[in-house]
Chains A and B, each alone.
Chain A
Amino acid sequence: MLLHILNRSPATSEVYRQALAAMGPEDRLLLIEDGVQGAMSTLVGHFAEVTGRLYALRDDLEARGLIAHCDTTVAVTDMAGFVTLTEDADRTLSWF
C-alpha cells in the first residue's frame, strides 16, 4: 500500500488526475497545502473513486479557514497522523 501526497488543488491543477490514475486499490491519498481544497464538499467529487481512502491535513485546512467546509467523507488528520500514515504505507509518492 502506497501513500500518495498531493499539494495541488483540483481547481487549479490537473495533477490530481495523474495521482488517481497511479493509485492502486489499497493506496491512500493525503491532501496537504493547497491540496486540502479538494476536501471541500464542493470539490471532493473529483476524488470519488478513492472515497474512504482520502485524508486531509488539519493544519492546512485550518490555515485556510476550510475546516468547517471539509466533507464528512474525508478523514481529517494532524501532523502526527501524517507520520502514522507514512508508517502504515510501504512507500510514499508526492504529487506536485
Chain B
Amino acid sequence: MRYGILLMGAPYSSQASHSALRFAKAVVARGHALEGVFFYHDGVQNAARLAAPPQDEPHLVDAWAELAAEHGVPLQVCIAAALRRGLLDEREAARHGKQGHSVEAPFELTGLGQLVDLGLRCDRLITFAP
C-alpha cells in the first residue's frame, strides 16, 4: 500500500514527531511504500537544520533525514508555515534578504497542493498532531 504522513507537531514540544517517526519506520518495515511526509503548522520545526539537541537525546531532525536517505521518502515542508516561523532554505533566504538559511535537503519547501496530492495518491494518510 501507499502511505503518507501529515505531521503537525514540533519536535520536543509534543510526542507527535516521535510517534510519526516510529510509525513511519513501522510502515517501511511492513513493506509498504511511504510516499511522503508533509510537515505542516508547527510540524515545520522538524526541518530546522540548526537543531542541536543534547547528544543523549534522539535527534529528530537527523532521524527524518536518515529516513529520507535510507528509504527515499520525500520530506515536504509547507512553505507558508515555514517562512513565518523563520524556516527558509537558501533560495527563500536570498529572496527575503536574510543571511544564512535554516532548511536544507532532504527537506524541501513546497506548497499546500503537495499535501492534497499526497492525500490523493496514497491509500492511507495518517495525521500526527500535537
Contact = CB atoms under 8 A, between A and B. Distances in A.
A83 B129 contact: no
Contact of B23 (A7, A83, A91): A83
Contact of A80 (B15, B19, B29, B126): B29
B69 interface: no
Would you call the interface of chain B mostly helix, strand, loop, or mixed? mixed
A33 B1 contact: no
A34 B3 CA distance: 24
B124 A86 contact: yes
Contacts of B58: none
Interface residues of B, number: 21
Interface in A52-96: 59-60, 79-80, 82-84, 86-87, 91-92, 94, 96
B2 to A, nearest CB: 12
B30 A80 contact: yes
B107 interface: no
Interface of B: 1, 3, 14-16, 19, 22-23, 25-27, 29-30, 32, 124-130
Interface of A: 5, 7, 32-34, 59-60, 79-80, 82-84, 86-87, 91-92, 94, 96
21 contacts: A5-B126, A7-B16, A7-B19, A7-B129, A32-B19, A33-B14, A33-B16, A60-B15, A79-B22, A79-B23, A80-B29, A80-B30, A82-B23, A86-B126, A87-B30, A91-B124, A92-B127, A94-B127, A94-B128, A96-B129, A96-B130
Given A7-B15, A32-B19, 11 more contacts: A33-B15, A33-B16, A59-B22, A80-B29, A83-B26, A87-B30, A92-B124, A92-B125, A94-B128, A94-B129, A96-B130
